[in-house]
Amino acid sequence: MDAIQAGAQPGPAVKDHRFSVMIWTLKSRGSFEQNLERVAKAGYRYVELIGESLRWSDAETAHMLARMDALGISVDATSGLVPGFADPAATATYPEKLKEFAQAAQRVRCKRLILFSGKRVQGMSDQDHQRVSIETLKRAADVLEQTGTNAVLEPIDRLENPPIWMDTVEQAFEIVEAVASPRIKVLYDLYHEQRTHGNLIEKLQKNIHSVGLIHVADVPGRHEPGTGEIHYANIYRKLGELKYDGMIAMEFYPTGEIVESLRGARLEASQAIQLRR
- Among 174, 188, 170, smallest CA distance to 230 is for 188
Instruction: Count structural domains, the chain.
Output: 1
Question: What does the pLDDT average to over 87-101?
Answer: 97
- Catalytic site residues? 154, 251
Percentage of residues in the chain having pLDDT higher than 70: 93
Mean pLDDT of all residues belonging to the chain: 94
Range of the structural domain that residue 128 is part of: 18-275
pLDDT at residue 10 tops 80: no
Which pairs count as long-range contacts for 194-199, CB under 8 Å and 24+ apart, including other chains? 194/219, 194/229, 194/230, 195/157, 195/159, 195/160, 195/219, 196/157, 196/158, 196/159, 196/167, 196/168, 197/157, 197/167, 197/168, 197/169, 197/170
Domain contains 3: no
Domain contains 10: no
pLDDT at residue 201 tops 90: yes
Domain contains 2: no
Question: What does the pLDDT average to over 183-195?
Answer: 99
Q: What is the pLDDT of residue 3?
A: 35
Q: What is the pLDDT of residue 190?
A: 99
Q: Which pTM does this prediction carry?
A: 0.93
Of residues 11 and 262, the one with the higher pLDDT is 262
CATH code of the domain in which 197 resides:
3.20.20.150
pLDDT at residue 9 tops 80: no
Domain contains 253: yes
Domain contains 216: yes
Confidence band of 275 (pLDDT split at 50, 70, 90): confident
Domain contains 182: yes
Confidence band of 227 (pLDDT split at 50, 70, 90): very high
pLDDT at residue 17 tops 70: no
Instruction: Let me know the angle formed at the C-alpha of 80 by 74 and 82, rounded to the nearest 5 degrees.
Output: 155
Q: How far apart are the C-alpha atoms of 271 and 82, rounded to whole Å?
A: 38
Domain contains 148: yes
Q: What is the pLDDT of residue 277?
A: 60
* Lowest-pLDDT range of 14-28, 106-120, 134-148, 201-215: 14-28
Question: What does the pLDDT average to over 69-98?
Answer: 97
